[in-house]
Amino acid sequence: MTDWISLVGFLAICLAASGLGGLATGRSVGDWYKDLRKPSWTPSGRFIGIVWSVLYVLMAISVWLVWVSGPLDQIYVQIILFFFQLGLNVAWSFLFFWLRDLRLALMEVVALWAAILLTMISFLFADVIAGLLLVPYITWVSVASLLNYAILRLNPK
């Protein structure tokens, strides 16, 4: 029973992170962001929202699988890496949408990508499925990084 409670806890944490990012995004998505020049391959806002919702659930399941895979003294590095990358995830929304700093957001998303990669690799050692569940996340952040770069190039000011 406690395993399921921890799953609910991780879902709540990941969805709270999503909500924080949404707060930052909501500040600019209706005006500033829509007025930016964007590449033709920019996904729609609705599609982005659906993808992120799925990714946050996958992240929660992934960290939960690590959590139940062994005693804390054997998985604490993985858990710390997970929360570090989750913090970077939230920070990107604030840098990009709240502060509207495309350049700083680009530098930060590169750090986020590296943190996800480290987290994913460390998760593979604890639970292979947990590591594989982060593959869609790092793939999407790769796309987001390219999009951030393209928007910066199209809006250099």
Say if CB 73 and CB 65 are below 8 A apart.
Answer: no
Cα of 133 vs its chain's centroid, Å? 13
Q: Which domain holds residue 134?
A: 2-154
- In the chain, the number of structural domains is 1
What's the DSSP call for residue 94? I
| Residue among 14, 135, 8 nearest 83 (CA) | 14
In the chain, the percentage of residues whose pLDDT exceeds 70 is 99
Angstrom distance (rounded) from CA 22 to CA 83: 18
The pTM score is: 0.94
CATH code of 16's domain: 1.20.1260.100
In the structure encoding, which two tokens stand for residue 152, read together? 């910066």
- Which tens digit of pLDDT belongs to each residue from 50-92? 999 999 999 999 999 999 998 888 899 999 999 999 999 999 9
| Residue among 69, 51, 67, 65 nearest 137 (CA) | 51
Q: Provide the pLDDT confidence category of residue 157 given band limits of 50, 70 and 90.
A: confident
- Which tens digit of pLDDT belongs to each residue from 6-30? 999 999 999 999 999 999 998 788 8
Say if CB 97 and CB 25 are below 8 A apart.
Answer: yes
Say if CB 144 and CB 99 are below 8 A apart.
Answer: no
What's the DSSP call for residue 43? P
